[in-house]
Amino acid sequence: MKKALITGVTGQDGSFLAELLLEKGYDVHGTIRRSSVDYRERIAHLEGREHFHLHYADLGDSMSLLQVIGKVRPDEIYNLAAQSHVQVSFDTPEYTANVDATGVLRILEAVRQCGLTDTCRIYQASTSELYGKVEEVPQNELTPFHPYSPYAVAKLYGFWIVKEYREAYGMYCCSGILFNHESERRGETFVTRKITLAAARIAQGKQEKLYLGNLSSLRDWGYARDYVECMWLILQQPVPDDYVIATGEQHSVREFCELAFSRVGINLRWEGEGADEKGIDIKTGKVIVEVSPDFYRPTDVVNLWGDPTKARKMLGWNPQKTSFQQLVNLMVDADMAKVAVERAGEQVKMNLEEYLEKGIVK
């Protein structure tokens, strides 16, 4: 039975990858960090399964990585852990570098120190943010990098150190240059999830307005469940290499909004431009989407568009298994259900408070 170690197993990608590897008959090990709040919701359904194991480790702590890798002795490592929020990287640049750059080095060195150089294959989750201030469209494996945030700079080090260890030590280590990939498990601070949650809440009377940044920003958005399959395929090849993981399609934040609100029965029309642009509910005339200067990045990357030709050709991967509209729909549907449960819980609480006030329940 193959053994896989996933850092960042509690995240969107980690949880989908854990499911995939368990289905393929792997013994799956994941790393988690001690926290005072519960962040294991995405893997709760996997805990307790015979071939799913969790270990405490941190990319900022080389000893913990040495211990876990030495104990598990995995056949495959998927490094998905990261400080992955671009905006946050401007506020915590040193922490971002420690995790997203030096953390990758710590994993590579741990594999070497544990004597697994010839037997362990390593996947490094890289990012389309490497392209940053885009120099050509669409972007492929040969497009020059121009990182435009502390997050992107840290990830660029991770990309190059993987390449260096592959060439210097003959290690089987690869990077997947991941373009934006979303799902119903996406963190609520990311723009796509922010939009789908707002659409659900506005439709159910729980929110009045959605505030966004640049509505014209263009992204190549795919489905995370499809993308983790590509990660696995990358490590099954006879020769290690780096691949762009993308759909090859481009859409704006504005388009994402239109589809999300349409899914809940709200049709939008747009007025104004740039920071003055507004999304108006055609039926009621209410402004429900506004641009806020607070959500503009100091340096905004506006034209990311991946070319998945190599992954399609070399890996046999289908980058458009889930369409853009299907992706938006499944995210909105999940958030509609989530908000409905929240509303039901609030109603129960209101009823209980009313009963207590009237002395019906003591």
Q: Which residues does the annotation mark as catalytic?
A: 127, 129, 151
**Torsion over CA of 139, 253, 300 and 93, rounded to 10 degrees?**
-90
Per the structure block, which two tokens stand in for 261?
């609100």
**DSSP structure class, residue 306:** B
- Report helix angle 150-169 to 103-113, nearest 10: 20
How far apart CA 356 and CA 362 sit, in angstroms, is 6
How far apart CA 271 and CA 332 sit, in angstroms, is 24
86-105 b/e (C-beta count within 10 Å ≥ 16 → b): bebbeeebeebbbbbbbbbb
Looking up tokens 């989407």 gives 289
129: nearest Cα among 172, 98, 88, 184: 88
Q: Is the dihedral of CA 6, 7, 12, 15 positive or negative?
A: positive
Q: How many CA atoms lie within 13 A of 349 on its CB side?
A: 6
Contact 260, 279 (CB under 8 A): no
Looking up tokens 């307790």 gives 48
Looking up tokens 């999304």 gives 279
How far apart CA 181 and CA 319 sit, in angstroms, is 11
Compute the 3-state secondary structure of the chain and give helix, strand, coil in percent, each to the nearest 5.
45, 20, 40
Contact 73, 53 (CB under 8 A): no
199: nearest Cα among 283, 264, 281: 264
